[in-house]
Each structure stands twice: as C-alpha cells, then as structure tokens.
Amino acid sequence: AQTVTQSQPEMSVQEAETVTLSCTYDTSENNYYLFWYKQPPSRQMILVIRQEAYKQQNATENRFSVNFQKAAKSFSLKISDSQLGDTAMYFCAFMKRGTTSGTYKYIFGTGTRLKVLA
C-alpha cells in the first residue's frame, strides 16, 4: 500500500531564511503525481506546488521549489526567503490511480507545522 511520510512534525525558520520540509513515499507505480499543500490557520488548503513523476526537472513556483528524487522516493519542499505569511501546516500528498480507469485517489502525509519567526 502506498504511504506518505513527513518525519518533521514541527519546524521553525527565521524570516528571510531558507527551510526544507521533507517527504518520503512508498509506491510500486511508475507514473504518479506529488503535491505540496499549505494549510494556514484559516483552514483553507492551498496548492503550493506539484510534480509529475515522469518529469526529471524539479518543479519551481517563485520562492517554492522541490527536490524530487524518484529512485529514493523523496519529495522535499524548499522555501526560500521565508515570509511570515508562510506560517502554516504543510502537507505532502501522493496521487495514485484508482482501481477504475481514469480515477485518482490521494494519500496525504500527517503534515509539518512551520512557523516563520520575525
């Protein structure tokens, strides 16, 4: 069964510094998608970045980038120039194909609570 592991329950970083959140997953599939979602205190889950497994190039979205190591089944998120607004819970998610053709299911990690310090 697929699993997603986030081994850092809590992290903190000084404003303007860089922080890396780790995520590992387990799967026997070759084609899949990986996501990082942010959940601020408002509770709204917001997509931060996504990665297609067949793409070797790491995804980047402004200050957010990933280090995707397919062989190691690792998908870490790097936040550069951290801002106070980055304070949130961050979830790593793996998308797998369901048993019915064309269906997809998602497995989420338990999250990392990130606090950006002024």
Partner 1 sequence: GAGVSQSPSNKVTEKGKDVELRCDPISGHTALYWYRQSLGQGLEFLIYFQGNSAPDKSGLPSDRFSAERTGGSVSTLTIQRTQQEDSAVYLCASRPGLAGGETQYFGPGTRLLVL
- Smallest separation (angstroms) from partner 1 to the CB of 111: 5
Q: Which residue from 42, 56, 83, 115 is in contact with partner 1, where contact means CB under 8 A?
A: 42
For the chain, state the CA radius of gyration. Answer: 14
Q: How many CA atoms lie within 13 A of 112 on its CB side?
A: 26
- 64 versus 108: smaller Cβ distance to partner 1: 108
Compose the 51-90 pattern: x for residues touching partner 1 by CB under 8 A, - for all others. ----------------------------------------
Q: Which residues contact 51 (CB under 8 A, 6 or more apart)?
A: 33, 34, 35, 58, 59, 66, 68, 75
Between residues 33 and 58, which has the closer beta carbon with respect to partner 1?
33
Residue 114 interacting with partner 1 (CB under 8 A) = no
- What is the contact surface with partner 1 in residues (CB under 8 A)? 33, 35, 37, 42-47, 50, 91, 95, 98, 100, 102-111
